[in-house]
Amino acid sequence: MNRNRNNNIKNALPYIILLVIICGTLFFFNLQKYEVHEFTTGELIKEIDKESIIEMTITPNSNDSVYYVEGKLEDYKETESFKAKVIPEEVGVILEYNESHDLKKYETKADPGQNTLLVIIINFLPLVLLVILSYVLFTKLASGNNKSMDFGRSRARLSEDGGTVRFTDVAGLKEEKEEVAELIDFLKNPKKFQKLGARIPKGVLLVGPPGTGKTLLAKAVAGEANVPFYYISGSDFVELFVGVGASRVRDMFKQAKQTAPCLIFIDEIDAVGRQRGTGLGGGHDEREQTLNQLLTEMDGFGANEGIIIIAATNRPDVLDPALLRPGRFDRQVTVNLPDSKEREEILAVHAKNKVFDKSVNLSNLSQRTPGFSGADLENLLNEAALLAVRRDRQNISMDEIDEATDRVMLGPAKTSRKITEKEKKLVSIHEAGHAVIGIKLTDAQEVHKITIIPRGMAGGYTMMLPKEEKIGIMTKDELTSQIVGLLGGRASEELYYGEITTGASDDFKRATRIARSMVTEYGMSDLGPMQLEEKSEGGVFLGRDYAKTKNFSDQVALEIDKEVRNIIDKCYSEAKKILKENEKLVKDISEALMENETLTKEQIECIVETGKICPVEPERNNEPTTLKLKEIAKAKGIKGYTKMTREELLEELKDEIDK
């Protein structure tokens, strides 16, 4: 607190000095408004004879051998006065006048020339004050507190102990931890590597989507190694003036050498490490000089032994090739989105300080959140906790988690919005079309939830999740099934509502994107196994609209359009065919949505089996519910389990339940 107070005083000091100067100047000019009449000795004696002097001061001065006389006359204003110089011989006349007349004010001052201390103060005090002021100013300029003098100093912040984050605090990322574990071993015991002539990577680049834990992993490396840890953002290097960024890079490595072995973490390195000489407007001199200095410091003539640099970015495609060559960032660690098991571990970490209801199962929640990053999962649980507090609950239940999932994906529900029965009917039929395609099509995704409550820009939505997680490879049938599912909403409108609406515009956008990629990138059309479009590496600075390279003629462009249209038309016909064959199911789901607005996976399965929503099943001596029994039967591969009654399922799974 005192430190902040002292800083505030130092910052205000120049303004205080300026204020004093201004006030002194104004006071000086105000003094000039006083009117002073200069009298000769004769004029002064005349005024004495007239007896018009009411105030007078006599000051002797040995240096000039004269007396200074100041005073006022009767007819003077407040701002008027007189002054005169009188020789010693004539002072007697003035003193006689004082004896014969009673002046209102009369004073005789001592000779200032006789006061040695006063002479010293007047002559030497300004000089002493000037020297002291100069010393204070130069000392402040030389210190690091002055922002104008440390312009080129590094903005990297130092953590001596590497921080408190450890690998146990980082859920998932098993392979990524193994990749960076070598850095910790090297920092702790470098001789083990040097003995065999091994060279540890000078730089490690963490690449991955936002929110996957790149910064957290770097903190864990520093914490495990327990070495000095410098952390800085790429934007901290770049300044308005050319050369400042390069100076900061030099200063950062200079500081790091003094505390080696150590770690330097540069977050968002793409802010300073972009390719040189690119873009519509040419290069960026400040950023390029900063990058040049960084390249030189990492692997130039000078040696930086014991300094390991970790950088993070989600845009590796824009980085300069010289930054990625061996000797610099010669190891890239891809931090991918977590799978189901890793998501469960991440949820467990973020659930430590939260109170959950017994019904909450983190394993099931991890299955329902494919594509969520670690940051998304943390935000999901936080939103659920906020909802529980808002509802005055003592713990967090699955209701809050379901609502939080929807809020994270699509935004808050618009419960206050007035929806007409016509709109409600239309949306229910549209979403029922999506759901039936997902239920009946073999390669389609699994339907987990349907709602007609508006969220964000959507009037309703159908949550469809993959039946099993994959590493990213998809077959042609799976892609085609996705398109059929997306077109199911429009097909249902046309068949069971009697007219088409604008509600399927986003479905068309996604379906067309998949179909075009099948033709131009994946080679899944009659045009053959050819890649006709690709993302351009050189177009990253021109904007996303220019980021594709087209390797075909106008004639081929026409054929591409025809192939895309054929795929869309076939998928649309397939969607209409499936919906016609399952007209009753479409209407049952639509009516259930009209009544309940939201359907869960359990309710949807009940409608498929019985045509209506099943009542809530009561607890039966801790026996598993019918839904749980079907999940077990599905995992065991039992045929026809969907048509079995509860008693049949219990009999079939008796041994499994006993376990």
Catalytic residues: 431
53 vs 37, 90, 99, 496, 574, CA distance in Å?
13, 17, 13, 116, 120
Structural contact between residues 258 and 217, judged by C-beta atoms closer than 8 angstroms? no
Please give the full DSSP string across 250-306, using - where no structure is assigned: HHHHHHHHHT-SEEEEEESGGGT-BPTT-STT---HHHHHHHHHHHHHHSSSS--TT
What tokens appear for 89 in the block? 């011989």
Contacts of residue 185, Cβ cutoff 8 Å, sequence gap at least 6: 192, 193
What does DSSP assign to residue 613? P
What does DSSP assign to residue 394? S
Report the C-alpha gap between 618 and 616 in whole angstroms: 6
- At 206, phi and psi to the nearest 5? -90, 120
Structural contact between residues 234 and 266, judged by C-beta atoms closer than 8 angstroms? yes
Q: What is the number of residues in the chain? A: 659
163 vs 160, 215, 231, 256, 631, CA distance in Å?
8, 13, 11, 17, 45
Structural contact between residues 205 and 239, judged by C-beta atoms closer than 8 angstroms? no
3-class secondary structure for 146-209?
Answer: CCCCCCCCCCCEEECCCCCCCHHHCCCCHHHHHHHHHHHHHHHCHHHHHHCCCCCCCEEEEECC
Q: Kindly calculate the radius of gyration of the chain based on its CA atoms and give it in whole angstroms.
A: 43
- At 598, phi and psi to the nearest 5? -135, 135
Report the C-alpha gap between 392 and 388 in whole angstroms: 6
Report the C-alpha gap between 158 and 161 in whole angstroms: 9
